[in-house]
Each structure stands twice: as C-alpha cells, then as structure tokens.
C-alpha cells in the first residue's frame, strides 16, 4: 500500500511533466472511482482545465486546476498514477512491448484516463479498485484536511508536538503511528522502520514516551521516510512510480517483512507480531518496551 514516500515519489516525478498542461478530456471507466459523485459530472468539470500544480497531503495527491478547483486522488491499496506516451504500445506498468490487439495489465486495470494537450495521457490504474477521486473547491480543501495530522517532513513536526499528541494515550506506539489524525502519510512499512530506528517497542503505550523517546521517534519517522524517498518508494505488491517502474525501498528494509532474519544492529532474529490487525516487525532485543507511565525520578 503506497505511503508518503511512494505518493511523494509519484508527485515529484509527475509535477514537472504535467504542470501547465491542459486536460483535454477525462474518461472515467469505473464509476466507483468518483463515488458518490457521478463520473460524468467529474469528467465534465475537469475537461478543459489547466493543471496548475500537483501536490501531496498525507497519502493524498492534489491535482490543482485553474478556476480554484482541486481533484483529490487517493491510491489506497493498489492504485498507480502513470504517465503514458500517446499511442505507444507499451504496458506502462511492465515496460513491455505489446502485440497488436493485446491488452496490457494496465489497460485491464485502468479506472480513469486523462488526455493532456501534448498528446500524453495520465492513467489511474488499480487492480483492487479501492482508489478514489473527488473534486473540491479551494475553499473546501482546507476544511477537508483539517483533521489530518502533521506533515512529518515539514518543520511543524517536532518532538514537543509529538509529545502533546501522545500525552495520556494508552494505544500502542504502532497504532498511534498508523493513525492519520496524528502523523499524516505514515503506514505499516514506515511505522515499523521508524520504531526500529527509534529503538522503541511497537507495543509501548504512546503516552509512556519520555522526552528522549519523543526525540528518537521524531528522528526515526523522518529518517525512515527519507530512506523511502531516496530509494523511490517500496514495491512489495503493486506499487509503480509515475514512469511505471518499481521502487527499491523493499530491498532496504531494516525490519519490515524480515521475520527471522538477523537484526541489522544486534544480529538477533527479527520478530513478527500483529498490532491493530497489521503485521508488525521489530527486534525484541533492541526495541525497548516502555512502562505504562513514565517513572517518576527519585527525589
């Protein structure tokens, strides 16, 4: 499932390519993509508009259009946004030449297609079809994302702010990190990687962190996300970047999906548990399980 580094990779690749381009036509092939809005309504509202910017908020892609409108897209489980050259008969997700009449896997999973004024197309492909899109005016945009947590790669993400959000919470740290209302864009992969870097056990209660733990977790989250960006995101399942290529982060995981393999720090075996219904990987030796409340200093 694409998280912040995967969505940001797509955003950084696409923005210089599509900024200033006019959308000649949007074709929605699956009405569920725009639900509850009717696909035809979104198609006609988007057609003819110029792309002013492509941004990101949490795991959402924000396609800013002229006329103070934004098309917000979420890739969910298996969505990809891929730039396709005109009538090229190449599968954008596999990079393979296609024979006459053959349908590529991207074509089979195509849910929406933007035709740009330079002849290129932007494809939203999505085998499991949980991805979604909605149109919103700029006035509504801020309110729509008001409850989304802090952007972890912004200067607003501080140890002090993290402490305020975590204070009094008994939820395990892993669940706390997955909650988009606290930190936007962190999912299962980068939560595990961040907790390992911070040397904190995923089942530690969020409210049990002392100041040094808050600093370690803040740094761990930032370092884990930046590693993901450096390697072009992680392709465990279906994720492809805007050029249809796999990311490389899956080869760089410190603990995620590495059950039984040696911990990169101590050499002991990495363990797997389930937290909030999600597979969670950690090192039982390196990651400290905090007590429920911070211990009072002896006076």
The verdict on 136 binding Zn ion (CB under 5 A) reads no
Annotate 199-215 with DSSP letters as a single string: TB-TTSBGGG--HHHHH
What is the token pair recorded at 85?
């050259």
Which of these segments, 94-102, 204-212, 246-254, 262-270, binds Zn ion (CB under 5 A)? 262-270
Closest residue to bound Zn ion by CB: 263
Secondary structure (H, E, C), 96-127: EECCCCCCCHHHHCEEEEEEECCCCEEEEECC
Cis? peptide before 155, omega within 30° of 0: no
97: β partners: 90
| Cβ closest to Zn ion, residue 217 vs residue 283 | 283
Which of these segments, 125-133, 214-222, 251-259, 285-293, binds Zn ion (CB under 5 A)? 285-293
CA distance 245 to 179: 29
To the nearest 10°, report the CA torsion of 266, 271, 277, 278. Answer: 50
| Cβ closest to Zn ion, residue 153 vs residue 270 | 270
Give the CA radius of gyration of the chain: 21
Considering CB under 5 A, how many residues would be counted as binding Zn ion? 6
The verdict on 50 binding Zn ion (CB under 5 A) reads no
Supply the residues annotated as catalytic.
2-3, 59, 278
The verdict on 265 binding Zn ion (CB under 5 A) reads yes
Residue among 266, 279, 288, 294 that touches Zn ion (CB under 5 A): 266
Which of these segments, 53-61, 218-226, 232-240, 276-284, binds Zn ion (CB under 5 A)? 276-284
Q: What is the contact surface with Zn ion in residues (CB under 5 A)?
A: 263, 265-266, 283, 285-286
């Amino acid at each position: 499932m694409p998280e912040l580094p995967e969505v940001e990779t797509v955003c950084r690749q696409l923005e210089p390519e599509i900024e200033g381009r006019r959308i000649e036509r949007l074709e929605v092939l699956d009405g569920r993509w725009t639900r509850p809005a009717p696909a035809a309504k979104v198609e006609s509202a988007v057609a003819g508009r110029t792309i002013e910017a492509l941004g990101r908020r949490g795991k959402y892609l924000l396609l800013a259009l002229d006329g103070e409108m934004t098309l917000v897209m979420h890739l969910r489980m298996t969505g990809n946004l891929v730039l396709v050259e005109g009538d090229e008969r190449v599968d954008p997700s596999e990079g393979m030449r296609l024979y006459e009449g053959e349908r590529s896997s991207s074509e089979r999973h195509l849910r929406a297609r933007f035709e740009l004024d330079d002849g290129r197309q932007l494809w939203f492909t999505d085998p499991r079809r949980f991805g979604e899109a909605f149109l919103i005016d700029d006035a509504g945009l801020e309110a729509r994302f008001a409850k989304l947590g802090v952007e972890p790669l912004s200067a607003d993400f501080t140890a002090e702010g993290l402490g305020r959000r975590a204070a009094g919470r008994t939820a395990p740290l892993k669940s706390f990190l997955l909650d988009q209302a606290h930190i936007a864009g962190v999912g299962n992969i980068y939560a595990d990687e961040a907790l390992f870097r911070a040397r904190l056990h995923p089942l530690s209660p969020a409210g049990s962190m002392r100041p040094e733990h808050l600093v370690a977790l803040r740094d761990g989250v930032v370092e884990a996300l930046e590693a993901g960006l450096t390697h072009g995101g992680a392709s465990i399942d279906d994720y492809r970047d805007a050029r249809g290529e796999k990311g490389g982060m899956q080869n760089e995981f410190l603990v995620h999906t590495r059950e039984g393999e040696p911990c990169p720090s101590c050499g002991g075996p990495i363990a797997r548990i389930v937290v909030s219904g999600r597979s969670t990987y950690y090192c039982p030796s390196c990651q400290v399980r905090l007590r429920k409340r911070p211990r009072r200093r002896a006076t």
